[in-house]
């Protein structure tokens, strides 16, 4: 087999190999569930142990970032989604060290406070890592594959 045949075989394999495509409807439901759980962890925090109030909201926030990116980029790898979600989450946390009047005004709005937060905490970085890891390992678990992914997808040429 000469080099051009090898190239054609690799090209054919690349174009026809089955790929995983996330089911957006499933991710929509998962996003809604995580939002409800996250809001519930904030509004009903007095019903739970103190660590729930401290850490669960941030962990679920990061999980939701992972799910939203998975929803938007339905053909990207789980690792790619996890790395982008982790980068985004860490950047948001680091941005909490910045306190210009315009961004602090945005933080006073409910949505602005939920998205950007108010103050930098090292523990939040760990929560983000845990939340995104949960999403990543959930996607990698074979048991959930039929729920999360379409099965008969091929690459478009």
Residue that wins the pLDDT comparison between 110 and 19: 110
Q: Provide the β-strand partners of residue 150.
A: 21
Cα(43)–Cα(53) distance, integer angstroms: 9
Answer yes or no: is pLDDT of 56 > 80.
yes
Cα(130)–Cα(125) distance, integer angstroms: 9
The residue extents of the domains of the chain are: 22-150
What's the token pair of residue 112?
A: 């602005």
Give me the pLDDT at residue 67, please.
96
- DSSP letter for 152, please: S
Answer yes or no: is pLDDT of 29 > 80.
yes
Give me the pLDDT at residue 133, please.
96
Which regions of 37-153 does DSSP assign to beta strands (E)?
149-150
Give me the pLDDT at residue 157, please.
42
The pLDDT confidence band at residue 153, using thresholds 50, 70 and 90, is low
Cα(131)–Cα(127) distance, integer angstroms: 6
Give me the pLDDT at residue 8, please.
54
Cα(12)–Cα(39) distance, integer angstroms: 48
Residues recorded for the chain: 157
Other CB atoms within a 10 A radius of the CB of residue 110 amount to 8
Mean pLDDT of 144-157: 67
Mean pLDDT of 73-92: 93
Answer yes or no: is pLDDT of 119 > 90.
no
pTM for the full model? Answer: 0.76
């Amino acid at each position: 087999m000469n080099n051009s045949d090898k190239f054609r075989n690799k090209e054919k394999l690349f174009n026809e190999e089955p790929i995983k495509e996330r089911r957006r409807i499933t991710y929509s439901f998962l996003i809604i569930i995580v939002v409800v759980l996250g809001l519930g962890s904030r509004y009903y925090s007095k019903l739970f142990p103190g660590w729930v109030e401290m850490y669960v909201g941030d962990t679920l926030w990061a999980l939701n970032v992972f799910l939203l990116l998975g929803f938007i980029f339905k053909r990207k790898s789980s690792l790619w989604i996890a790395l982008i979600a982790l980068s985004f989450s860490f950047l948001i946390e680091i941005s909490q060290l910045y306190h210009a009047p315009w961004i602090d005004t945005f933080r006073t709005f409910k949505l602005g406070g939920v998205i950007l937060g108010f103050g930098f905490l090292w523990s939040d970085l760990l929560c983000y890592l845990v939340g995104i890891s949960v999403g990543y390992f959930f996607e990698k678990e074979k048991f959930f594959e039929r729920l999360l992914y379409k099965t008969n997808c091929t690459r478009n040429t």
